[in-house]
Amino acid sequence: MAEVRKIKNFINGEWVESKTTKYEDVYNPATGEVIAQVPLSTKEDIDYAAEVAAEAFKKWRNVPVQKRARILFNFQQLLQQNKDELARLITIENGKNTTEALGEVGRGIENVEFAAGAPALMMGDSLTNIATDVEATNYRYPIGVVGGITPFNFPMMVPCWMFPMAIAVGNTFVLKPSERTPLLTEKLADLLTEAGLPKGVFNVVNGAHDVVNGILDHPEVKAISFVGSKPVGEYVYKRGSQNLKRVQALTGAKNHSIVLNDADLDLATTNVIASAFGSAGERCMACSVVTVEEGVADEFLDLLVKRSKEVKIGNGLDEGVFLGPVIREENKTRTLGYIQKGIEEGAKLVCDGRELGAPEEGYFVGPTIFDGVTTDMSIWKDEIFAPVLSIIRVKNLKEAVETANESEFANGACIYTSNASSIRYFRENIDAGMLGVNLGVPAPMAFFPFSGWKSSFFGTLPANGKDSVEFYTRKKVVTANYKAPSFE
C-alpha cells in the first residue's frame, strides 16, 4: 500500500514540516479510506507562525488598501478557475455532495468579493466645525495578527468568513483548520500565493487543541475568530478574553422551522428535507426541529416521510446523490445512540434512517424523523449534527414560538406561511439571529452579518458584513484645531 501523504504547515509563504511527532489520519468519510495524515502541531509551530505573522504585519499594514484589494481580485479569479477542484476536495474530505460543495465554494467566493471592497469599507468619517475651527476625523487601522479556528463542516466557506476581510483591511492571519478537513486549506494557501500575497500574511498551522491554546495565549495574536461547537466556543471565548484579545465565537445550533396551517406544504417539505438532511444535517443552519400546526400535521408528515425515504444516499461524488456520510465513525455511532435514546424517551420513529439502504462502507445514516417529540427529550435539546429531525405538534403560532424559544440555542429559524401578520409575529418574537420566510437555509450572504443569539454566539460583533470590518479594525479619532488664517 502506498504511504499516506503527510500534510505540512504553511508559514512564511512556505510549506514546512511540523515539529510534532504526532499525526492523525484524515479520512474520506464516504469510503472510510485514509487519504492523508495531519500533524498535531506543537506550541513551537504556532509560536513560529504568530511571530512570522507579526513581522509580516509591519509591512502589510502599510501596503495601500487598493493594492491589497487587487490581490483579492486575483484570488477571486483563481477561485473561480479552480472551483471544480475545490468542490471535489470538499466532497472527498467532508462528504457533502458535489452540488452542495460547489455551493460552498460560491459562498466562499462571495466573501472574497465583499472583502475586495476594502477601500470603501475601511473609510472613516469626519465632521467639520465641532467647535470654532475645530474638526474631528475617524480613521480605521488593522489590529495585527488575527487567529482563525474553524470547524469541519464548511472547510472553504468558514475560513473565507475570516481571512479575506482580515487581510484586506491590513491584518495578517494564522488559520487552524479542522484537523478532520485540512485538504481544502492547502489549496487556498497555494492560490493566495499565486494571487501575489506576500509571505507571512496568511499562515496555516494544522492540529488540534494545542494549536488552539497556542493561538489563545500568544501575545502577538490580537483577535480570534472561532466557529465550532458550543463547549469549545465557550472555552475559546473565555480564555481568549482573559488574555485580553478580541474574540468572536460562532457556535452550536438547534434550528426550528415552523409550519403553519396556511403554508404551501409542497414547498415546506422540499425545503425542510434540503435543510434537515442536506450536508448530512451537518450545517449550523440545518433544520433540526419542525414545529407544525395541528391542522396540517398529518398531511405534512405523510409528505415529508414519503419524500425523505426517496432521497439518494451515497458517495457525494456520484451523480444524483443527495445525502452523503457524516464526518467520522464516532459521529455515526453518536447519531445511532441518539436514535436509540429518542425511542427510549418515547418519541415515535416515523422514518428510520438506519434502514434506508445506506452503503456499508463509510459513515452513513439515512434521513431519520421522530414524531411526538417533547422539549424534555434529549433529541430535542441537544445539537445532534446529523440527519435526525424532530417533529412537535402545536396548537398555534404562539405556542410554536414559545416552544422554539425554550432552546438554549438561537442560531436560525424559519417559518412557512402565507400570512404577513404571522411572519411579523414570528420575526418580532422568535429568539434567533438569522430568519427564513418560506425557505430552508436562511444563511445570510457575505455582506450581511452572520451570527446567532443565546448559546449560539459568544462575543459582540458577528462574522461578515460591515460588522467584520469593525471586528478586524480599530480606530483613531483626531480632533484638530485649525486656527483660521489671518488675512490682515
Q: Is 227 in the site for ligand NAD (CB under 6 A)?
A: yes
Q: Which stretch binds ligand NAD (CB under 6 A): 66-74, 84-92, 176-184, 260-268?
A: 176-184
Nearer to ligand NAD, 69 or 156 (CB): 156
Binding mask 397-436 for ligand NAD (x = CB under 6 A): --------------x-------------------------
Cα gap 448→76, rounded to integer Å? 19
Strand partners, 224: 147, 247
User: How far apart are alpha carbons 397 and 258 in whole angstroms?
Assistant: 8
Q: In this structure, which amino acid lies at residue 368?
A: T
Q: Is residue 253 within the footprint of ligand NAD (CB under 6 A)?
A: yes
DSSP H or E run through 275: helix 265-277
Amino acid (one-letter) located at 33 = E
Smallest separation, CB 181 to ligand NAD (Å)? 8
The reply on whether position 93 binds ligand NAD by CB under 6 A is no
- Please provide residue 371's backbone torsions phi and psi, each rounded to the nearest 5 degrees: -100, 165
3-state helix, strand, coil in the chain (%, to 5): 40, 25, 35
Q: Is residue 343 at the binding interface for ligand NAD, with CB under 6 A as the rule? A: no
Nearer to ligand NAD, 201 or 224 (CB): 224
Q: Give the residues across from 248 on adjacent strands.
A: 225
Task: Choose which of 214, 228, 281, 325 interacts with ligand NAD (CB under 6 A).
Answer: 228
Judge whether 180 is annotated as a binding position. Answer: yes
Question: Judged by CB under 6 A, does residue 445 bind ligand NAD?
Answer: no
Asked if residue 11 lies in contact with residue 179, where contact means CB atoms within 8 angstroms, the answer is no
Marked catalytic residue, from 284, 287, 351, 414: 284
Least Å distance, CB 230 to ligand NAD, is 6
Judged by CB under 6 A, how many residues of this single chain contact ligand NAD?
Answer: 27
What is the C-alpha radius of gyration for the chain, rounded to an integer number of angstroms? 24
The least distance separating ligand NAD from the CB of residue 395, rounded to whole angstroms, comes to 30
Q: Is 269 annotated as a binding residue?
A: no
Q: Quick check: 208 binds ligand NAD (CB under 6 A)? A: yes
152 is in an annotated binding site: yes
Q: Is 176 in the site for ligand NAD (CB under 6 A)?
A: yes
How far is it, in rounded angstroms, from Cα 407 to Cα 324?
Answer: 28
Pick between residue 65 and residue 365 the one whose CB is nearest to ligand NAD.
Answer: 365
The one among 27, 60, 385, 458 contacting ligand NAD by CB under 6 A? 385
247: CB partners within 8 A, 6+ apart: 223, 224, 226, 236, 237, 240, 241, 458, 459
Q: With binding defined as CB under 6 A, does residue 212 bind ligand NAD? A: yes
Asked whether position 152 contacts ligand NAD by CB under 6 A, the answer is yes
179 binds ligand NAD (CB under 6 A): yes
360 grid coordinates: 456499508
- The H-or-E segment that residue 342 falls in is helix 329-344
Tell me: does residue 45 bind ligand NAD (CB under 6 A).
no
User: Is 179 annotated as belonging to a binding site?
Assistant: yes
What is the per-residue binding string for ligand NAD in 255-294, x denoting contact by CB under 6 A? -----------------------------x----------
153 binds ligand NAD (CB under 6 A): yes
Q: Is 287 a catalytic residue?
A: no
Applying CB under 6 A, among 108, 144, 147, 151 the residue interacting with ligand NAD is: 151
Output DSSP code: residue 46: H
Task: Return the C-alpha cell found at 1.
Answer: 500500500
DSSP alpha helices (H): ranges in 150-206? 157-168, 183-194
Q: Rounded distance, CA 183 to CA 4, Å? A: 13
Residue 10 Cα distances to 69, 230, 286, 408, 486, angstroms? 22, 28, 32, 38, 60
Helices (H) and strands (E) in the chain, counts: 16, 22
Q: Which one of the spans 7-15, 73-81, 221-229, 289-297 is the region binding ligand NAD (CB under 6 A)?
A: 221-229
Asked whether 149 and 173 are in contact (CB, 8 A), the reply is no
With CB under 6 A as the contact rule, the residue among 41, 111, 178, 203 that binds ligand NAD is: 178
Separation of alpha carbons 131 and 123, rounded Å: 23
59 is in an annotated binding site: no
Of 292, 268, 295, which Cα lies nearest the Cα of 403?
292
**x/- binding map, residues 131-150, to ligand NAD, per CB under 6 A?**
------------------xx
3-state secondary structure of 296: helix
- State which residue, 286 or 397, has the beta carbon closest to ligand NAD: 286
Judge whether 176 is annotated as a binding position: yes
Residue with the CB atom nearest ligand NAD in the bound state: 228
Q: Which is nearer to ligand NAD, 452 or 459 (CB)?
A: 452
Say whether residue 155 binds ligand NAD (CB under 6 A).
no
Q: Does 209 bind ligand NAD (CB under 6 A)?
A: yes
Q: Which three cell numbers stand for residue 252?
A: 452550536
> Stretches 38-46, 248-256, 367-375, 476-484: which one binds ligand NAD (CB under 6 A)?
248-256
DSSP 450: B
Asked whether 166 and 173 are in contact (CB, 8 A), the reply is yes
Residues that bind ligand NAD (CB under 6 A): 149-154, 158, 176, 178-179, 208-209, 212, 227-229, 232, 250-253, 284, 383, 385, 411, 452, 456
Output the known binding site for NAD(+): 152, 176, 179-180, 251, 383
- Catalytic residues, by residue number, are 284
